[in-house]
Structure 1
Amino acid sequence: MKKQLHFETKAIRTQIKTTHEKEHSTPMYLTSSFVFDDAEEMRATFAEEVDRNTYSRFTNPNTTEFIDKMCALEGAEAGYATATGMAAVFSTFATLLSAGDHMLSCRSIFGSSHSVITKFLPKYKIESTYLDLNDTDSWQSKVQPNTKILFLETPTNPGIELIDLEFANAFAKKNGLIFIVDNCFATPYLQQPISYGADLVIHSATKYLDGQGRVMGGMIVGKSELIKEIYTFSRSTGPALSPFNAWVLSKSLETLAVRMDKHGENALKLAEWLESNENVEWVRYPFLPSHPQYQIAKKQMRSGGGMVCFGIKGGLKRGTKFLNEIGMCSLTANLGDTRTIITHPASTTHARLTDEEREATGIAPNLIRISAGLEHIDDIIEDLNAAFGQSK
């Protein structure tokens, strides 16, 4: 029996075959197309009688390696890589949903995912209903005869709420739904939704999978029959990941475990410090005992990850002053970088939501989201402490 490799080893040793040059590190295949030896090979390839590269919108060695590595890390049968995380989200919905279908989603999701679900899918007569994460008993009443998908984020963006994947899978299977999880915040190192029964897992590879704020990318992994449908749709509609970005992302995965360990260590220390800070109303971090879903986090996550959110005393006005006084940390809407990032979701990532929608999602005006970076924790805390003092 073949030995089962550990996560860190699979992230490093999953590679495509070397060329005649016997390179140790996978080369970049920066080509738009691939040539054939003769007309028969070309015909057989396009007839899908043989499996080989034809055109980089379809497949490319660098993209193949990135997909193979993510499948190994998530425990998935197959995958498809896209140009961005939102391309992964939309391609999945557009493939699996048709006019007249209905989907269920947790309410607290990334702002652009909310826009797709509420503004663009209805143009194609696809309806949706949001679920209350704090009232799972009400979920069954939301199921309709035409409901096809259950889409969840856990931890959620930006409120860091958690969903019990075991419960969600049982609910999806009971109702014959395709169970899809956005695993962006946790990464496959901290959480593997497929092991809890998820049919598909989606990532914005732009975030922790890259981990250094360099390139954009998306990933969909899961059951082979579903991925085949998504691939067929995507090879015609064109949301393909570039070979260069695929090469960068595959190399980035080699350090995912050590990076996530440090992100989690810094985030927990930061959350503990914030929880005792007089300038803070509340703190939410999965591995804080005060988190409402702390036991769920301990059950399905290796650590709490790198994301922390808190409510600053003084509301929006104080929050604005606080952000303006930040020195070292970065003010940007990204996350999952080596650099600590501070964001005000209500005015940035979730600004397109109405006030009522933000309130229903738990995005208070004073909510501050932090992506804890890899700097020394004392320097991160010192920067935030100074901003607290100068914003009073």
Structure 2
Amino acid sequence: MELHPITQAIRIQTERSGQKEHSTPLFLTSSFTFDNAEDMRAAFADETDDNIYSRFSNPNVTEFIDKIVALEGAEAGYATATGMAAVFASFMAVLKQGDHLLSCNAVFGSTHNIIKKWLPRYGIEASYVSANNPAEWEAAIRPNTKMIYLETPTNPGLELIDLEFAAALAKKHNLILNVDNCFATPLNQRPIDFGAHLVVHSATKWIDGQGRVLGGVIVGDKQLIHDIYLFCRNTGPALAPFNAWVLSKSLETLDVRMERHAKNALHIASALESHPKISWLKYPYLPSHPQHEIALKQMKNGGGILCFELKGGLESGRTFLNSLKLMTVTANLGDSRSIASHPASTTHGKLTDEERLEVNITPGLIRISVGLEYADDVLNDILQALESC
């Protein structure tokens, strides 16, 4: 019987202990035993799928990967200790000295640091293009370009990039399309359906959904994932079995959680859009969003993130955060509890003023990760904080 991916995310169970437990048990072990020397030799020779060492594979980690693979419609996957480990591995396992990476300029702050600071140390060239300037993307491709990397929606400005366009461009030039799908999750957007070769996630965010554990995952083309697996197997950014167990259980509720997050976010965004203290507000499923048609084409809903610019700039941004009574002030997102952050001074604080403005991270930009609370309670907290700005 063929099962829907949402059902697979609930029912996939890689292994039981023999006690007939309903919930997957924890496999908290660093290594696995063998009945004899020949079995161990065969495992190390990759002649079997036996677990050897939890840095390589572990039943809890395998279950989590299998669920993400099903949700994303991918061929294979590998899970990492953090989302940034997934991003880094998706670069370093595939790119080599002399290659060129083409990226949208609106990326997470740590990703920006990898692209601009660390990749050049390994002889990997990188350049940025504006998220929504197709002519600029085409013109920036070089003879040594090997990968296109993008976020959509972008962090934190919620720009949307047409995945159909990006995949067509990658196919035209025989490039690898690597998509950070963290903001949307596989329940809202499946880049592989449009032609992406790799998809990365910070599982720390919506996939966990409760701010408990760190994790990352990369899924996509089987051969590319094998290369990533070999890189990670030797360099060691493996996901811990306990974290994998938590994340796998989280996937069982991801669908219903994301529906509520999106419903709450749309309600709050609609109510705030014309507020006199706000210069502009972005939410993908509002008709006012510059790429609203793209959102309708490739996203099932608008997701759980909205952002807006306060007219008072930096000082208003600080005042707003200090005036909140219900919402949490933290740099994380994707939690059951609503979160407010000020990207210019936190996640993107190490960028220059010029770099921030290039990706529309203005001094008064506020990013809201909408939680699962009663929506009007969150809205009222935002409204009372705006009164102080």
State if a TM-score over 0.5 links the two structures.
Answer: yes
Superposed CA deviations along residues 31-70 of structure 1, whole A, max 9, x for unmatched, are: 0000110111111111111111000000000000000000
Q: Which residue is 1:220 aligned to?
A: 218
* Percent identical: 62
Q: Which residue is 2:121 aligned to?
A: 123
Letter of the structure 2 residue corresponding to residue 54 of structure 1: I
Partners of 1:134 and 1:216 in 2: CA distance: 31
Letter of the structure 1 residue corresponding to residue 369 of structure 2: S
Q: Which residue is 1:375 aligned to?
A: 373
Q: Which residue is 2:167 aligned to?
A: 169
Partners of 1:341 and 1:24 in 2: CA distance: 34
Cα distance, 1:132 vs structure 2: 1.3
- The range that moved more, 94-103 or 203-212, is 94-103
- The range that moved more, 239-248 or 43-52, is 43-52
Partners of 2:49 and 2:12 in 1: CA distance: 19
- The range that moved more, 367-376 or 135-144, is 135-144
Residues 160 and 308 in structure 1, CA contact (< 8 A), matched pair in contact too: yes
For normalisation by structure 1, the TM-score amounts to 0.98
Partners of 1:49 and 1:132 in 2: CA distance: 46
Residues 7 and 189 in structure 1, CA contact (< 8 A), matched pair in contact too: no
Q: Which residue is 1:65 aligned to?
A: 63
Residues 346 and 365 in structure 1, CA contact (< 8 A), matched pair in contact too: yes
Superposed CA deviations along residues 91-134 of structure 1, whole A, max 9, x for unmatched, are: 11111111111010000010000000001111111111111123
Partners of 2:297 and 2:120 in 1: CA distance: 36
Secondary structure, aligned partner of 1:70: helix
1:102-113 superposed matches below 5 A: 102-113=100-111
Residues 106 and 130 in structure 2, CA contact (< 8 A), matched pair in contact too: no
Q: Which residue is 1:294 aligned to?
A: 292
Secondary structure, aligned partner of 1:298: helix
Letter of the structure 1 residue corresponding to residue 337 of structure 2: R
Residues 15 and 69 in structure 1, CA contact (< 8 A), matched pair in contact too: no
For normalisation by structure 2, the TM-score amounts to 0.99
Pairing partner for 2:181 from 179, 183, 194: 183
Q: Which residue is 2:242 aligned to?
A: 244
Q: Which residue is 2:338 aligned to?
A: 340
Partners of 2:161 and 2:247 in 1: CA distance: 28
Letter of the structure 1 residue corresponding to residue 263 of structure 2: E
Superposed CA deviations along residues 350-386 of structure 1, whole A, max 9, x for unmatched, are: 0010111001111001110000000001110111111
Cα distance, 1:72 vs structure 2: 0.4
Partners of 2:106 and 2:85 in 1: CA distance: 19
Cα distance, 1:205 vs structure 2: 0.2
Partners of 1:221 and 1:312 in 2: CA distance: 38
Partners of 1:319 and 1:44 in 2: CA distance: 59
Cα distance, 1:268 vs structure 2: 0.4
Secondary structure, aligned partner of 1:89: helix
- Structure 1: tracts of 5 or more residues without a match: none
Partners of 1:184 and 1:24 in 2: CA distance: 30
Please give the root-mean-square deviation of Cα atoms over the aligned residues, in Å. Answer: 0.8
Q: Does 1:233 align with 2:219?
A: no
Partners of 2:240 and 2:328 in 1: CA distance: 27
Partners of 1:222 and 1:278 in 2: CA distance: 45
Partners of 2:226 and 2:330 in 1: CA distance: 36
Q: Which residue is 1:207 aligned to?
A: 205
Letter of the structure 1 residue corresponding to residue 341 of structure 2: T
Residues 132 and 161 in structure 2, CA contact (< 8 A), matched pair in contact too: no
Secondary structure, aligned partner of 2:187: helix
Residues 203 and 217 in structure 2, CA contact (< 8 A), matched pair in contact too: yes
Letter of the structure 2 residue corresponding to residue 175 of structure 1: H
Letter of the structure 1 residue corresponding to residue 115 of structure 2: I
Residues 103 and 147 in structure 1, CA contact (< 8 A), matched pair in contact too: yes
Q: Would you identify which runs of 4 or more consecutive aligned residues in structure 1 move more than 3 Å? A: none
Partners of 2:345 and 2:216 in 1: CA distance: 25
- Structure 2: tracts of 5 or more residues without a match: none
Cα distance, 1:10 vs structure 2: 1.5
